[in-house]
């Protein structure tokens, strides 16, 4: 069903989960980490690990960062959403699809270069908690990497329209189930801007996003601090992925810079637009040309509330 929707050029946004790369939530609500005997990593994050959806991770803005972080500017540091460093109870999910899902590599060929770059520059030699088949037997770096992109996901104030008490009408929410609808709103605004300028809506977004990552990187704010090693509520697991320069399995390509994002979406459509011309006899004995625009789309937001979401 997800593939069918993608082939109809429909955007599906799914939160990447709130338990990091290796978190586990038990039936009684407590959290822990996936034991090594069970693979050591969360099991692929479906449906967020599907190549037919756009997976959305979570970010946070830290007022301060640890003294050993080697970051000079410790004010408003953008980082992966993690319960290890901030007061949110959630950690951005991410990783690679499980071998059991058996996706075909051509289904996510659009991210091949970005993933290869990440794996060539990162590993246990420079990130001690980086997964390997030794410490996490289910580690599957040839799988579909997720998330694709991120949005703010930490303690955003919302008005509770159902509340009858003035002192409880504002509440705070967190998690990638906040990040995904935030990104859906931005995509909707981007679609409006594109249509007003004679372009098509975004549609199936993943090929465009990774094209931007390679050719129009100003569309994103890269997030290069933190890891998704923690589970929920600050529980630390043995393995997780770093948020680094470029795409990574913690925050994806980063967060959207709206105005450049729209301009890059236009550039992508210009680069990909093709016109199919069919020639047939016209009533006047000449030829008539029929042009078919291959771009169509609409935004559908799939707000995935998993057992791991708040």
Distance of CA 108 to the CA centre of its chain: 14
Contact 97, 138 (CB under 8 A): no
CA dist 98 and 293 (Å) reads 36
Q: Output the six-digit token pair for 207.
A: 């090929």
Annotated binding site for Ca(2+): 222-223, 246, 248
Annotated binding site: 222-223, 246, 248
CA dist 166 and 170 (Å) reads 8
Q: Output the six-digit token pair for 13.
A: 């946004």
206-215 and 112-121 helices cross at what angle (nearest 10)?
A: 50
Count Cβ atoms within 10 A of the Cβ of residue 125 and give its class: 0-12 exposed, 13-18 middle, 19 or more buried: exposed
CA dist 39 and 116 (Å) reads 23
């Amino acid at each position: 069903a997800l593939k069918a929707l993608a082939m109809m050029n429909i955007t599906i946004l799914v939160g990447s989960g709130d338990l990091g790369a290796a978190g586990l939530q038990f039936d009684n609500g407590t959290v822990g980490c996936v034991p090594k005997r069970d693979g050591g990593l969360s099991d692929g994050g479906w449906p967020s690990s599907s190549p037919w959806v756009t997976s959305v991770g979570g970010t946070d803005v830290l007022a301060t960062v640890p003294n050993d972080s080697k970051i000079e500017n410790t004010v408003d540091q953008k980082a992966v959403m993690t319960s290890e460093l901030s007061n949110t109870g959630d950690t951005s999910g991410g990783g690679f699809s499980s071998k059991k899902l058996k996706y075909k590599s051509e289904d996510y060929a659009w991210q091949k270069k970005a993933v290869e770059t990440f794996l060539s520059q990162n590993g246990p030699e420079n990130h001690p908690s980086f997964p390997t088949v030794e410490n996490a037997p289910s580690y599957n770096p040839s799988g579909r990497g997720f998330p694709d992109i991120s949005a703010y996901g930490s303690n955003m104030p919302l008005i509770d329209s159902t509340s009858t008490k003035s002192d409880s009408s504002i509440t705070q929410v967190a998690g990638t189930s906040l990040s995904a609808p935030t990104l859906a709103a931005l995509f909707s605004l981007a679609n409006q801007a594109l249509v007003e300028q004679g372009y098509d809506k975004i549609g199936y977004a993943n090929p465009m996003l990774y094209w931007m990552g390679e050719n129009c990187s100003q569309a994103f704010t890269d997030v290069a601090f933190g890891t998704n090693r923690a589970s929920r509520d600050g529980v630390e697991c043995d393995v997780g992925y770093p948020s680094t320069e470029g795409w990574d399995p913690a925050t994806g390509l980063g967060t959207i810079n709206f105005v450049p994002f729209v301009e890059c979406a236009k550039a992508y459509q210009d680069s990909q637009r093709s016109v199919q011309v069919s020639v047939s006899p016209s009533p006047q004995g000449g030829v008539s040309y029929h042009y078919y625009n291959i771009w169509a789309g609409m935004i559908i937001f799939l707000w995935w509330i998993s057992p791991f979401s708040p």
